[in-house]
Amino acid sequence: MRLLLISNSTNAGEPYLKYPINQIKEFLGPVTDVLFVPYAAVTFSYDEYLKKVQDRFAEIGVSVRSTHTYAHPSEEVARASAIVVGGGNTFALVKRMQEEGLIEAIRERIAAGIPYIGWSAGSNVSCPTLCTTNDMPIVQPASFQTIGAISFQINPHYLDKNPEGHAGETREQRILEYIEANPGRYVVGLREGCMLRVEGNTLSLVGPRPMRIFKKGEEPYEVQPGDDLSFLM
């Protein structure tokens, strides 16, 4: 199993996908063609999304095809050398992936060892469920079940505090609600500019910030890049 799970596509003030592109290049290695899943796009077209990703990946010599251009996208998943799932609205992404049979198809390809890259919503769908997304449920998927390549949940774009003047729940409070209802599950708060890399049974945190760990019965705590994360696997 090979996964690169990125918190966010774009750091503030930087071009789209600029900060993770070298990590993506190194992760893909000799792979020069990837299949992109654009279904998290809502306010712009899948064609526009494909072009944004294609333009950045071209810088590292990788061509990008998109599932939305095929009549039977699950068949393309079976032929793909690598899968890339972009961010956007997780509910819209999961609904379409379920309708196209991509949840099971991608799960099988990950198990076969092909590289999987996701950012934001694309990281969420690698988890057992979409329940720790930050997104509004603008559409209703058949279920909350997702690929389940990993056994823990990711909360991408994790923030420690609310903006000044906002009195609503913090991200931590929302995650504490989740683990109260799901006591057997770890949740990781993956801060922006960071990513998780899975190589077989090895999980590592990549980036400039620590990651926050949540589990019912334990006080939330931080882990640093380089720390042993085998307990999540």
Q: How much of the chain is in helix, strand and coil states, percent to nearest 5?
A: 30, 20, 50
**Catalytic residue list:** 120, 135, 157
Backbone dihedral region for residue 17 (phi beyond 0: left; psi -120 to 50: alpha; all else: beta): left
Q: For position 143, what pLDDT does the model report?
A: 98
Cα distances from 120 to residues 12, 14, 126, 147, in angstroms, run 15, 17, 10, 15
CATH number of 2-232: 3.40.50.880
Whole-number Å distance between alpha carbons of 63 and 204 = 27
pTM value is: 0.96
- What does each of the 233 residues of the chain score in pLDDT, given as a tens digit? 999 999 999 998 999 999 999 999 999 999 999 999 999 999 999 999 999 999 999 999 999 999 999 999 999 999 999 999 999 999 999 999 999 999 999 999 999 999 999 999 999 999 999 999 999 999 999 999 999 999 999 999 999 877 677 767 889 999 999 999 999 999 999 999 999 999 999 999 999 999 999 999 999 999 999 999 999 99
Phi, psi of 112 (to 5 degrees): -80, -10
Q: At a CB cut-off of 8 Å and minimum separation 6, what does 165 contact?
A: none
CA 39: distance to chain centroid?
Answer: 13
| φ and ψ at residue 50, rounded to 5 degrees | -55, -45
Q: For strand 202-206 and strand 195-199, is the pairing parallel, antiparallel, or unpaired?
A: antiparallel
DSSP symbol at 56 = H
Residue ranges of domains in the chain: 2-232
* DSSP-based three-state secondary structure for 196: strand
Question: Which letter, b or e, does each residue of 15-50 get, where b requires 16 or more Cβ atoms within 10 Å of its Cβ?
Answer: eebebbbebbeebbeeeeebbbbbbbbeeeebeebb
- β-sheet bridge partners, residue 33: 63
Q: Which two tokens stand for residue 152?
A: 């823990």
216 Cβ partners below 8 Å, 6+ apart?
179, 180, 182, 183, 184
The string of DSSP codes covering 123-143 is: HHTTSSBSTT--S---S--S-
pLDDT digits over 175-198, tens only? Answer: 999 999 999 999 999 999 999 999
